């Protein structure tokens, strides 16, 4: 029997890809297209979801997101089996790559409960896609965008900025092409060079140059200009949407909504009540200190271990991080500062209670003084153009409140 409302947002991680892209350090491994492990993994994950729902931990669930990796590699049958395990929600997104997307897959996912697809396009230019090590070309991306738009699912496209060989004109063409195909939501991520990737090694060896901060900023500004002209508003550092098309699931990561992540490397955020209920299903999870206000968990189990768990959460291992009320308040401010809604009056009032009014007001005044935040007509403090570009300074100042600075 449920004793309270459960998690409001559910994330399911599918850690398989045909091969690794040159820039990628996400939790995914190259499995090719036909590894039987994928089906076993999806069945185990679906069984976990059903068990969570049976315990009331998904009562009141509002959004779900199947991400990766490449969820579309599961195929129509595997993906719809996984999606079908999720209780009915208003927004359920799955990620797909152009090379494993098809109208049949979209129909199967939609019939199982999906409402939205996020297509990993990255670019529509063949030379940029080759440089990124993507398995698809521009034509495959255009075809998938058209098929996704025709499928009745809401369509989001992921694009990359500051890609080797990219020009302002080619970035604009990719943005315009995705929007013309029917995307009502676009995410634009700057290329980040991560250690251990093909690009990371190339930069270390000196055979590739890391994009400079200025190049990155110019590319992100160019994307914002094009999207603004096409009627898209930026609502998060990397996310743009037409009116009414924001991704509610992603917003939950930035507005303090408790979320549950299942699968390899998936992250969860819970208050102590929800964490206690999770521990009933996974008694190996540690007890937390009395001073803990929020718990963050990350699943450390490999894909093979998740598959072998057959839906039993107690057979997985988790990293657990405890946050005090002050840390949780600072984190909420920091995450809210990623969004155009910014730091609202209610959020600021809660932070003042948790870490002291003087410290909160001093941090906000500093960021306003530096031109990084500005007050909105509704009394919130939201990022300025400069604030979007200098997010790390904003986040650092607000996270400093966790220590009572």
**278 touches ligand SF4 (CB under 6 A):** no
Q: What is the DSSP secondary structure assignment for residue 339, as one 8-state letter?
A: B
**120 touches ligand SF4 (CB under 6 A):** yes
Identity of the residue, 97 or 123, whose beta carbon is nearer to ligand SF4 in the bound complex? 97
Q: Is there a contact between 272 and 292 (Cβ–Cβ < 8 Å)? A: yes
What are the DSSP calls for 232-259, one per residue? -EEEETTEEE-TT---HHHHHHHTT--E
Q: Where are the alpha helices (DSSP H) in 17-133?
A: 37-54, 75-84, 103-112, 126-132
Distance CA 273, CA 259 (A): 13
Q: According to CB under 6 A, which residues from 229 to 258 bind ligand SF4? A: none
Q: According to CB under 6 A, which residues from 64 to 93 bind ligand SF4? A: 68-70
**24 touches ligand SF4 (CB under 6 A):** yes
Identity of the residue, 120 or 256, whose beta carbon is nearer to ligand SF4 in the bound complex? 120
* CA neighbor of 109 nearest in space, from 145, 153, 50, 48: 153
Q: Is there a contact between 174 and 124 (Cβ–Cβ < 8 Å)? A: yes
Identity of the residue, 192 or 325, whose beta carbon is nearer to ligand SF4 in the bound complex? 192
Shortest Å, Cβ 132 to ligand SF4: 8
Identity of the residue, 97 or 339, whose beta carbon is nearer to ligand SF4 in the bound complex? 97
Stretch that binds ligand SF4, among 62-70, 198-206, 252-260, 288-296 (CB under 6 A): 62-70
**189 touches ligand SF4 (CB under 6 A):** no
Distance CA 50, CA 276 (A): 19
Residues contacting residue 200 through CB under 8 Å, at least 6 positions apart: 25, 193, 194
**177 touches ligand SF4 (CB under 6 A):** no
Angstrom CA distances, 276 to 207, 209, 272, 292, 331, stand at 51, 48, 6, 12, 21
Identity of the residue, 25 or 216, whose beta carbon is nearer to ligand SF4 in the bound complex? 25
Distance CA 160, CA 162 (A): 7
Return the structure tokens found at 139: 């034509």
Shortest Å, Cβ 9 to ligand SF4: 20
Size of the site for ligand SF4 (CB under 6 A): 11
Among 9, 14, 17, 295, binds ligand SF4 (CB under 6 A): 17
Among 72, 80, 93, 97, binds ligand SF4 (CB under 6 A): 97
**119 touches ligand SF4 (CB under 6 A):** no
Identity of the residue, 67 or 326, whose beta carbon is nearer to ligand SF4 in the bound complex? 67
Shortest Å, Cβ 69 to ligand SF4: 5
Shortest Å, Cβ 81 to ligand SF4: 21
Distance CA 24, CA 253 (A): 21
**21 touches ligand SF4 (CB under 6 A):** yes
* Number of other residues whose CB lies within 10 A of the CB of residue 3: 11
Identity of the residue, 68 or 342, whose beta carbon is nearer to ligand SF4 in the bound complex? 68
Identity of the residue, 197 or 239, whose beta carbon is nearer to ligand SF4 in the bound complex? 197
**43 touches ligand SF4 (CB under 6 A):** no
How many residues are listed for the chain in this entry? Answer: 405
Q: Which residues bind ligand SF4 (CB under 6 A)?
A: 17, 20-21, 24, 26, 28, 68-70, 97, 120
């Amino acid at each position: 029997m449920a004793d309270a409302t459960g998690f409001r947002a559910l994330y399911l991680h599918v850690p398989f890809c045909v091969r690794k892209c040159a820039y990628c350090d996400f939790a995914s491994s190259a499995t090719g297209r036909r590894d039987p492990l994928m089906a076993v993994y999806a069945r185990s994950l679906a069984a976990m979801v059903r068990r969570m729902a049976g315990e009331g931990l998904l009562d009141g669930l509002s959004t779900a997101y199947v991400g990766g990796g490449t969820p579309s590699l599961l195929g129509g049958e595997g993906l719809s089996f996984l999606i079908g395990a999720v209780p009915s929600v208003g927004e359920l997104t799955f990620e797909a790559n152009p090379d494993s997307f098809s109208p049949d897959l979209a129909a199967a996912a939609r019939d199982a409960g999906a409402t939205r697809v996020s297509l990993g396009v990255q670019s529509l230019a063949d030379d940029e896609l080759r440089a990124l090590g993507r398995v698809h070309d521009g034509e495959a991306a255009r075809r998938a965008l058209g098929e996704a738009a025709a499928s009745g699912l809401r369509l989001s496209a992921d694009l990359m900025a500051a890609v080797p060989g990219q020009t302002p004109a080619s970035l604009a063409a990719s943005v315009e092409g995705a929007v013309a195909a029917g995307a009502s939501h676009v995410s634009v991520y700057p290329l980040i060079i991560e250690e251990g990737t093909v690009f990371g090694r190339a930069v270390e060896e000196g055979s590739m140059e890391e994009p400079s901060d200025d190049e990155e900023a110019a590319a992100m500004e160019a994307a914002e200009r094009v999207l603004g002209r096409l009627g898209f508003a930026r609502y998060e550092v990397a996310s743009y949407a037409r009116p009414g098309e924001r991704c509610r699931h992603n917003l939950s990561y930035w507005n303090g909504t408790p979320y549950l992540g299942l699968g390899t490397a998936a992250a969860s955020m819970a208050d102590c009540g929800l964490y206690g209920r999770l521990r009933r299903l996974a008694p190996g999870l540690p007890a937390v200190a009395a001073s803990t206000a929020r718990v963050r968990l990350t699943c450390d189990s490999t894909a093979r271990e998740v598959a072998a768990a057959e839906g039993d959460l107690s057979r997985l291992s988790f990293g657990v991080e405890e946050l005090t009320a002050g840390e949780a308040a600072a984190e909420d401010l920091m995450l809210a500062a990623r969004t155009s809604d910014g730091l609202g009056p209610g959020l600021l009032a809660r932070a003042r209670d948790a870490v002291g009014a003087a410290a909160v007001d001093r941090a906000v005044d500093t960021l306003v003084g530096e031109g990084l935040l500005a007050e909105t007509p509704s009394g919130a403090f939201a990022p300025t153009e400069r604030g979007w570009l200098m997010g790390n300074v904003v986040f650092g100042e607000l996270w400093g409140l966790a220590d009572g600075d």
